[in-house]
Amino acid sequence: MDKQELMQRLKEQIIKQLKLEGTKPESIGDHDPLFVEGLGLDSIDALELIVLLQQEYKIKLNNAEQGQEVFRSVSTMADFIMERQAKQV
Amino acid sequence: MSSEGQLNITKSVIIRNNSIYVDGNIIYEYFKNDNFLNDSYESLDNNYPKFYKMDVLGKLGMLATHLLLKDSDIENHLPSDVGIVLSNSNSSLDADIRYFDSVKSFPSPALFVYTLPNIVTGEISIRYKLKGENAFFISQQFDADWLHFYISHLFQNNKINACIGGWIESIDSDHDVCLFLTERKERKNGINFTPENLNNIYGLGVDVSNIKH
C-alpha cells in the first residue's frame, strides 16, 4: 500500500472511529492539522487515535510526546505507520 | 421572605415514546425505529458536532436542553447563576454496558468517559457556558419532592437565579426525559414551582399554561 492509499484509508478510519458525522474523507486535507484547528479534535479523540493505531496497525506509541508529532496530520500519521511497518519487516 | 414563592417553572420538555413535547405540546414524532436521537437532533438542532460522540444520556440532555433554552433569555443570567440538577434511576448503566462490551475487544476511551451519570451535566455546562451549582441524583423514580427541595435550597441560599432540573433516563433505547426550567421571575405561561406541578408536568407532559396556579 502506498502513502496515498494509506492516507485515504486513515481518513476513513478516523471518521468512523471518532464518529465525525457529516465529514467526508475528501474534506480532510493530507496536511490539515487534526487538533484545535482543522478537524478540531480533543484529548479523548487523541486517545481514540492511539487505540486506532494499536487496533488496526498493531503499533504502540512509545510516549505521550511522540503523539504530538505523529498526530499532527493524516500525512504525519501515514509516515509514522510506514516507518514502523518498515522496521517490522 | 421565602424565595420559594417567587419561583416559577417557565418551560418544560418531555422526551418519551419517540416523541418530544415542549410545554405539553407535541413538536416532534418519530415513526421509524432505527435512530430517533440522531434524526431528531438533525431536525431540531444540528449545530454541535460533538453530539454524535456522546452517550445516550448526553444526547438526551443536549436535545432537551436545546429545546428548553431555545428562545429563552438564559444568557441574561450570569453563567455562575444557572444551576443544573438532574436525576435518574439507572445512573450511567447504558454507557457502562457499552463500555464493558468494548473491553472484550479493545477498551474505548470515548465510551469510558461517559461511565458516570453526571457527565451529562458537564456536557450541558460546556455547550451553554454554564458555571453554576450542579448535581446528579439517583432515585428509584422521578422524585418531585426531592428535586423541589434541593433546587429551592439552592435558590434560597442565593446560589442560583435559574435552574435546569429534571429527569434523564434511558435503558434499552427506552427514553424518559422531563426537563424543566425554574426561574425567579414570572414568565408568560409559567407556573409555580411546586412538587405537585412537577409531578403534573412529568406525568402528563401537559401545557403548563393549563395547570392551575
Of A20, A40, A51, the CB nearest to B108: A51
> What's the pLDDT at B207?
47
Beta bridge partner(s), residue B82: B162
Which residue of B49, B106, B109 is in closest CB contact with A55?
B106
List, for chain B, all residue ranges whose pLDDT scores fall below the cut of 70: 1-5, 204-213
**Domain residue spans of chain B:** 4-210
d(C-alpha B178, C-alpha B201), whole Å: 8
pLDDT value at residue B146: 98
CA angle A63, A66, A70 (to 5 degrees): 135
Does A52 lie at the interface with B, CB-CB under 8 angstroms?
no
CB-based contact A21 B49, cutoff 8 Å: yes
Residue A88 has pLDDT above 50, yes or no: yes
Measured between CA atoms, how close is B109 to chain A, in angstroms?
6
Residue with cell 422521578: B142
pLDDT at position B177, please?
97
Per-residue pLDDT, B137: 98
Which residues are paired to B170 by β-bridges?
Answer: B175
pLDDT at B213: 37
Domains by residue range for chain A, with CATH? 3-88 (1.10.1200.10)
- Between strands B19-22 and B8-16, the pairing is antiparallel
pLDDT at B106: 87
Using CA coordinates, name the residue in chain B closest to A23.
B49
CB–CB contact A19 B113 (8 Å): no
Beta-carbon separation of A47 and B106 below 8 A: no
Ramachandran angles phi, psi of A70, nearest 5°: -65, -40
Of A19, A45, A48, the CB nearest to B52: A19
Q: In residues, how long is chain A?
A: 89
Predicted pLDDT at B186: 72
CA distances from B105 to A54, A62, A81, B95, B119 (A): 12, 22, 22, 16, 24
B contacts of A19 (beta carbons < 8 Å): 52-53, 110
Is B155:B184 a contact under the CB 8 Å cutoff? yes
Interchain contact A47–B (C-beta under 8 A): yes
Give the model confidence (pLDDT) of A24-79 as tens digits.
999 999 999 999 877 888 889 999 999 999 999 999 987 878 888 999 999 999 99
> Is A54 an 8 Å CB contact of chain B?
yes
Q: Which residue of A has its CA nearest to B38?
A: A21
Answer whether B110 sits within 8 Å of A22, measured CB to CB. no
- From chain A residues 60-89, the ones with a CB under 8 A of any chain B CB are none
Q: What pLDDT was estimated at residue B204? A: 66
- Judged by CB atoms closer than 8 Å, whether chains meet at A18 and B53 is answered as yes
Say yes or no to pLDDT of A11 above 50: yes
What is the fold of B4-210?
Peroxisomal Thiolase; Chain A, domain 1 (3.40.47)
Distance from CA of B69 to the nearest CA of A (A): 25
